[in-house]
Structures are given as C-alpha cells and as structure tokens.
C-alpha cells in the first residue's frame, strides 16, 4: 500500500468561534492510501487548540510509511492501528487520517459502505446541531436566521452571563439547544442550578460543564441532572471511558481525538453497552472526515456534524445536508470523492 498526503487550508464562510478566539481558516492534511487500483482517503484536521502541527503531522506520516508497506487485500485495521499507535504518544489527528483512509480502502476493496462492512447498516437521516458563535445581540439574530434550516442549535457557553445569552437566543427561536460549556463552570451547585434552569429553556444536553479533573463533582451533578451531561474533553479515547465512573451520562466521540474510525466504533459500542448516550462530533473538518464519522450514525443518539456547512472550499463530496438533516450515501468505504479542481494529489 502506498501512502501520500497533502496539506490544505480550509477557509470558513464566516469567521468562526467566540469573539476572543475567532478563526478564518484551519489546515487539514489529506491522505490517500493506494492499493490494487483502489484509493482510500483520510483527513487529519489540525485546529490550533488541538496542539498538533502540520510539520509534526507530515513527519508522523513519514515514520508510518514502513508500517503500511504491505501487499494484501485482507489487512486488519485493528492490527495496523496498534502498530501505528505505538509509533508516538500523540499525533491523534495524523493517526486518525491513516485509520480513516485504511477503512475507506477496505470498503472500496469489498465494494461496501463502511456501515455495512461493520454490520451497522445504513442509518436514516439524522438532524445535526449547527453551532452559532457567541456575539452581540444583533449578530445572534442574524446567525439564527442563517441557521434557519437546522432544527437544533449548539452554543458555546462560558460567557460572562450565560443566562443572558440564552435569554437573547430565546427572543428569536425556541429550537432545541445543545450547550457546550468547554469546562467553563466550577461550582457544582451553580452547575446543577444552571442545568435545571436550562432544562426549562429547551436545552436538551450540556457538554463538559466542568473541568476534566472535577470527576466527583461531575458525578454529583450527573446523578441529579434532568438532561444528559456529555463528556468531551474528559474522553478522548477508549481507555478514558473506564475512568468516567458515572461522572457523565454520555460521550462526544470525535475522530481526531479517538485516532480514527476503528477506535471510534469501539467507543460507541462500549458506550451503548454501558448505558451512555453517544454524540458524534467533529472538529472543523471537511466532508472527508465528517462523512467517515457519519458512518456510525446507527450507533448515535445525537450528532453534531455541521462542519462542512461552515466551509467555503470543501474539497470532498460526501454526506449531504437537507433541511438540517445529514444523509448517508450508498458509495463504498466512507462514501467520499475528492473534488479534483480543489484538491489535486
Ligand atoms: Mg465540546
């Protein structure tokens, strides 16, 4: 199998994020793994806050090349994942790109979509949340209008006054809300009071309200919370699930944290077996990694896969969006095709 790669700057339609941390672009490194006339595609999305650099990602692909220099149609992504994983401690996005491409290739060799290869079956379309950045009132109104086709909105809390923010949003829409606190609250009684208040405001889940270290406080909150509490920063990989100990009622799985689809599906299955809700999330990815993640929709309770909608120059075709719902296609592998005029490699 031959691995090649290309860095690519993804540009946002609108500056993205909270006002103190606004970004206009992110770099992804796209990979392809070729074997026997078929090509598997993958993506390493590298938002600055992840701490993985383009240089580090490219260097990792170079050291991974010998592991992939095998010549068989019947390879095991699980076995290759272990070898790739042992090459370094971090580089989760780079590992994800390789794993996504291998699973795409496997599907193409078998001429089956990944969801069939895994015995999941094709999920019906699901509504995705759409993130609206925190801004002054006039812009919030405009952003809610721009998101008119989406039935669920996601906001990043942790502002000076989160109640005021939610009250402003409620002046313009009564749509369901996901509230992502990004570890921003630290007083457990305040967190619980806030969750009860948000429950009255049609907030249907709260993501990572407290810092990763506050496991016991989170367990106290989760036990009494009327809505699901979802771990994001607290859960990157499968091994983190064993340490949750009732501190959350669900998990946000992202390919760039989990090192790819192989581990993401294990996490989703573990969550189902242990009565945890599954939210499929993403970084600022193109249709390549987003379509890979959407393959697991059959295991999801919620999806937050809006990223391709935010991009000006998405270099892949994959899942499609209609009325705020994500639709899978019937193509083999992860169901994507590069747009050659944008991405030529
Ligand atoms: Mg989050």
Give the distance (Å) from ligand 1 centre to CA of residue 254.
10
Each residue's pLDDT tens digit, 208-266: 999 999 999 999 999 999 999 999 999 999 999 999 989 999 999 999 999 999 999 99
Give the distance (Å) from ligand 1 centre to CA of residue 153.
14
Task: Looking at the structure, tell me whether residues 260 and 135 fall in a common domain.
Answer: yes
Give the distance (Å) from ligand 1 centre to CA of residue 300.
16
Task: Looking at the structure, tell me whether residues 311 and 189 fall in a common domain.
Answer: yes
Give the distance (Å) from ligand 1 centre to CA of residue 324.
20
- Concatenating the DSSP letter of every residue in 156-196 gives E--SS-HHHHHHHHHHH---EEEEE-TT----HHHHHHHHH
Give the distance (Å) from ligand 1 centre to CA of residue 280.
11
Give the distance (Å) from ligand 1 centre to CA of residue 335.
26
Residue 133 CB coordination number (10 Å): 17
pLDDT given at position 160: 78
In total, how many domains does the chain have? 2
Domain finish residue from 111, 145, 168 = 111
The answer to whether the beta carbons of residues 103 and 112 sit under 8 Å apart is no
Task: Looking at the structure, tell me whether residues 74 and 133 fall in a common domain.
Answer: no
Give the distance (Å) from ligand 1 centre to CA of residue 323.
24
Give the distance (Å) from ligand 1 centre to CA of residue 208.
7
Task: Looking at the structure, tell me whether residues 235 and 137 fall in a common domain.
Answer: yes
Give the distance (Å) from ligand 1 centre to CA of residue 124.
25
Residue 296, pLDDT > 80, answer yes
Q: What's the mean pLDDT in 58-80?
A: 94
- 116 belongs to a structural domain: no
Q: How confident is the model at residue 21 (pLDDT cuts 50, 70, 90)?
A: low
N-term to C-term CA, the chain:
16
pLDDT given at position 22: 67
List the CATH number of the domain containing 311: 3.20.20.120
pLDDT given at position 136: 75
Give the distance (Å) from ligand 1 centre to CA of residue 183.
9
Q: What's the mean pLDDT in 185-204?
A: 97
- 345 belongs to a structural domain: no
Give the distance (Å) from ligand 1 centre to CA of residue 218.
16
Task: Looking at the structure, tell me whether residues 102 and 135 fall in a common domain.
Answer: no
Domain membership of residue 79 as a residue range: 2-111
Q: Please work out, in degrees rounded to the nearest 5, the angle formed at the alpha carbon of residue 91 by the alpha carbons of 341 and 182.
A: 95
Task: Looking at the structure, tell me whether residues 156 and 285 fall in a common domain.
Answer: yes
- 170 belongs to a structural domain: yes
- 120 belongs to a structural domain: no
pLDDT given at position 19: 47
**β strands within the chain, DSSP E:** 2-16, 23-35, 38-45, 126-127, 129-132, 152-156, 176-180, 203-207, 229-231, 250-253, 277-280, 302-303, 316-317, 320-322, 325-327, 337-338
Give the distance (Å) from ligand 1 centre to CA of residue 154.
10
Q: What's the mean pLDDT in 97-102?
A: 98
Task: Looking at the structure, tell me whether residues 174 and 318 fall in a common domain.
Answer: yes
Task: Looking at the structure, tell me whether residues 36 and 144 fall in a common domain.
Answer: no
Each residue's pLDDT tens digit, 142-176: 889 989 999 999 999 987 789 999 999 999 999 99
Write 227-231 long-range contacts (CB < 8 A, 24+): 227/195, 227/198, 227/199, 227/203, 228/204, 228/277, 229/195, 229/205, 230/205, 230/206, 230/277, 230/279, 231/207
Give the distance (Å) from ligand 1 centre to CA of residue 9.
23
Q: What is the CA radius of gyration of the chain?
A: 20
Give the distance (Å) from ligand 1 centre to CA of residue 207.
6
Q: How confident is the model at residue 17 (pLDDT cuts 50, 70, 90)?
A: low
Task: Looking at the structure, tell me whether residues 250 and 131 fall in a common domain.
Answer: yes
Which of 31, 30, 13 is closest to 131 using CA atoms? 13
Q: What's the mean pLDDT in 284-296?
A: 97
Give the distance (Å) from ligand 1 centre to CA of residue 232.
5
- 121 belongs to a structural domain: no
Residue 113, pLDDT > 80, answer yes
Give the distance (Å) from ligand 1 centre to CA of residue 121.
28
Residue 39 CB coordination number (10 Å): 17
Q: How confident is the model at residue 133 (pLDDT cuts 50, 70, 90)?
A: confident
Residue 82, pLDDT > 60, answer yes
Residue 321, pLDDT > 90, answer yes
Q: How far is CA 340 from CA 3, 6, 29, 313, 317, in A?
A: 18, 13, 16, 12, 11
Task: Looking at the structure, tell me whether residues 233 and 313 fall in a common domain.
Answer: yes
For 231, counting Cβ atoms within 10 Å of its Cβ (0-12 exposed, 13-18 middle, 19+ buried), the class is buried
- Residues lining ligand 1 (ion), CB within 5 A? 180, 207, 232
Residue 141, pLDDT > 80, answer yes
Task: Looking at the structure, tell me whether residues 182 and 130 fall in a common domain.
Answer: yes
The answer to whether the beta carbons of residues 49 and 23 sit under 8 Å apart is no
The answer to whether the beta carbons of residues 61 and 4 sit under 8 Å apart is no
pLDDT given at position 16: 59
pLDDT given at position 14: 76
Q: Please work out, in degrees rounded to the nearest 5, the angle formed at the alpha carbon of residue 173 by the alpha carbons of 196 and 137.
A: 95
Give the distance (Å) from ligand 1 centre to CA of residue 90.
19
List the CATH number of the domain containing 18: 3.30.390.10
Domain finish residue from 111, 139, 165 = 111
Give the distance (Å) from ligand 1 centre to CA of residue 167.
21
Residue 20, pLDDT > 60, answer no
pLDDT given at position 168: 93
Backbone angles phi, psi at 16, to 5 degrees: -120, 140
- 264 belongs to a structural domain: yes
The answer to whether the beta carbons of residues 280 and 103 sit under 8 Å apart is no
Q: Round to whole Å and give the CA distance between 274 and 124.
A: 24
Domain finish residue from 81, 111, 141 = 111
Give the distance (Å) from ligand 1 centre to CA of residue 341.
33
Give the distance (Å) from ligand 1 centre to CA of residue 69.
36
Task: Looking at the structure, tell me whether residues 95 and 242 fall in a common domain.
Answer: no
Residue 42, pLDDT > 70, answer yes
- 119 belongs to a structural domain: no
The answer to whether the beta carbons of residues 244 and 208 sit under 8 Å apart is no
**Residues 6 or more apart in contact with residue 224 via CB below 8 angstroms:** 192
Residue 18, pLDDT > 90, answer no
- 220 belongs to a structural domain: yes
């Amino acid at each position: 199998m031959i691995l090649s790669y290309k860095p690519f700057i993804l540009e946002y339609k609108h500056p993205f994020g909270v006002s103190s941390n606004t970004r206009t672009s992110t770099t992804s490194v796209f990979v392809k793994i070729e074997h026997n006339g078929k090509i598997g595609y993958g993506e390493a999305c590298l938002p600055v806050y992840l701490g993985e650099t383009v240089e580090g990602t490219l260097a990792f692909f170079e050291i991974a090349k010998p592991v992939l220099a095998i010549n068989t149609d019947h390879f095991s992504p699980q076995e290759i994942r272990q070898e790739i994983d042992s090459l370094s401690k971090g580089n989760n996005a780079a590992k994800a790109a390789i794993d996504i491409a291998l699973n795409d290739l496997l599907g193409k060799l078998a001429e089956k979509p990944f969801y069939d290869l895994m015995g999941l079956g094709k999920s019906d379309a699901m509504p995705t949340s759409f993130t609206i950045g925190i801004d002054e009132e006039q812009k919030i109104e405009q952003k809610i209008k721009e998101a008119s086709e989406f039935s669920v909105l996601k906001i990043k809390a942790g502002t000076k006054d989160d109640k005021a923010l939610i009250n402003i949003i409620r002046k313009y829409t009564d749509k369901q809300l996901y509230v992502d606190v990004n570890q921003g609250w630290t007083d457990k009684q305040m967190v619980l009071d806030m969750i009860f208040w948000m429950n009255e405001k049609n907030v249907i889940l709260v993501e990572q309200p407290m810092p990763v270290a506050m496991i016991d406080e989170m367990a106290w909150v989760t036990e009494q919370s009327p809505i699901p509490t979802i771990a994001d920063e607290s859960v990157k990989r499968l091994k983190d699930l064993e340490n949750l100990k009732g501190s959350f009622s669900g998990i946000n799985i992202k390919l760039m944290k989990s090192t790819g689809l192989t581990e993401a599906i294990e996490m989703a299955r573990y969550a189902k077996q242990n009565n945890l809700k599954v939210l499929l999330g993403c970084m600022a990815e193109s249709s390549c990694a987003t379509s890979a993640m959407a393959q697991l929709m059959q295991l999801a309770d919620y999806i937050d896969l809006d990223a391709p909608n935010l991009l000006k120059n998405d270099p892949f075709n994959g899942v499609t969006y209609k009325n705020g719902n994500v639709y899978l296609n019937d193509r083999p592998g992860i169901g994507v095709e590069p747009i050659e005029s944008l991405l030529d490699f």
